[in-house]
Amino acid sequence: MANKRYVCIICPNSCEIDVEYSGKTLTKISGQTCKRGDEYVRKELIAPERGITTSVPVRGGSIPLVSVRSSKTVPKELLPNLIAEISKVRAAAPVKMGDILIKNVLGTGADIIATKNVPRKQA
């Protein structure tokens, strides 16, 4: 039986949520003030997930990089693999915000999408 205190990151309230757990089983939870916080902590204990934001080089663009993010969170332990996968990508201008640069990255169900418009470089 172990105890842990989480700070919920879902909204600026940053509730402090205490849990009691054994292995991956949660036995007691207190301090949460909403359902989302409850969900977050359960997930964080058992199968934490994270999103990623980074940049990808663009060929022929008005700027050299396009910022990207994952369309949804993925298992936290896959992040290093995701980062490695993303680092292989080279985008080509024009890139539109929302363009999918990697579809279903590493089978996680998350896409890597552009978060900026990058028009072609003016001559």
Partner 1 sequence: METRFDVAVIGGGVVGCAIARELTKYKLTVALLEKECDVALGTSGRNSGVSHAGFYVPTGTLKAKLNIEGHEMMPAFCKELGVPYLPVGKIVTAKEEDEREYLYKLKGIGEKNGCKKLRIIDEKEIKKLEPNIKGIEALHSPTTSILDPFLLTIALAENAHRNGACVRLNTLVQEIEQKKDGFRIVSNNGNYTSGIVINSAGLYSDKIAAMVGINDYKIFPCRGEYHILDKNKRNLINGAVYPVPPKELGGLGIHLTPTTDGNIMLGPSAEYLPEPDDYGNTSEVMDKLFMESFEFLPKISRKDIIKSFSGIRPKLIPSGSKAPADFVMEESRKVPGFINLIGIESPGLTGAPAIAKRVSAMVKEIRGGLAENGAFDPVEKSKIRFAELSHREKSELINKDPNYGLVICRCQTVTKKEVIDALNNPLSARSIYSVSKRCRATLGRCQGGFCTPKIIEIMEELYHTKTSDINYAGKGSELFTGKKEGVE
Partner 2 sequence: MITKTVDVAIVGGGPAGLSAAISAKKNGAGNVLIIERGENLGGILNQCIHEGFGIETFGEALSGPEYMQRFIDQVEENKIPYLLNSMVLEITRERKLLVASREGLIEINAKAVVLCMGCRERTRGQICTPGTRPAGVYTAGAAQNFINLKGYRIGEKVVILGSGDIGLIMARRLTVEGAKVLAVVELMPYSSGLPRNMVQCLHDYDIPLYLSHTVTEIHGKKRVEAVTLAQVDERFKPIPGTEKKIDCDTLLLSVGLIPENELTRNAGIAVDEITGGAIIDERMQTSIPGIFACGNVLHVHDVVDYVSMEGDKAGKDAAEYSLGKAKMEGAIRVKPGPGVRYVLPQLLSGEEDVLLSMRVISPARNVKISLIDKGRAAKTIMKPRVNPAEMIQIKVKKGELAGCKEITVTLQNGK
Site for partner 2, rule CB under 8 A: 7-9, 11-12, 14, 50-55, 57, 63-65, 67-69, 76, 83, 97, 115-117
Q: What number of chain residues touch partner 1 (CB under 8 A)?
A: 9
Check binding of 115 to partner 1 (CB under 8 A): no
The option from partner 2, partner 1, none interacting with 76 (CB < 5 to 8 A, set by class) reads: partner 2
Comparing CB distances to partner 1, the nearer of 41 and 91 is 91
Give which of 89, 22, 15 is closest to 111, Cα–Cα: 89
Phi, psi of 20 (to 5 degrees): -120, 130
Comparing CB distances to partner 1, the nearer of 48 and 57 is 57
Distance CA 119, CA 18 (A): 48
Comparing CB distances to partner 1, the nearer of 41 and 58 is 58
Phi, psi of 11 (to 5 degrees): -140, 170
Distance CA 99, CA 102 (A): 9
Distance CA 62, CA 114 (A): 15
The option from partner 2, partner 1, none interacting with 67 (CB < 5 to 8 A, set by class) reads: partner 2
Here the tokens at position 114 are: 């552009």
Which residues sit at the interface with partner 1, rule CB under 8 A?
Answer: 55-59, 64-65, 87, 90
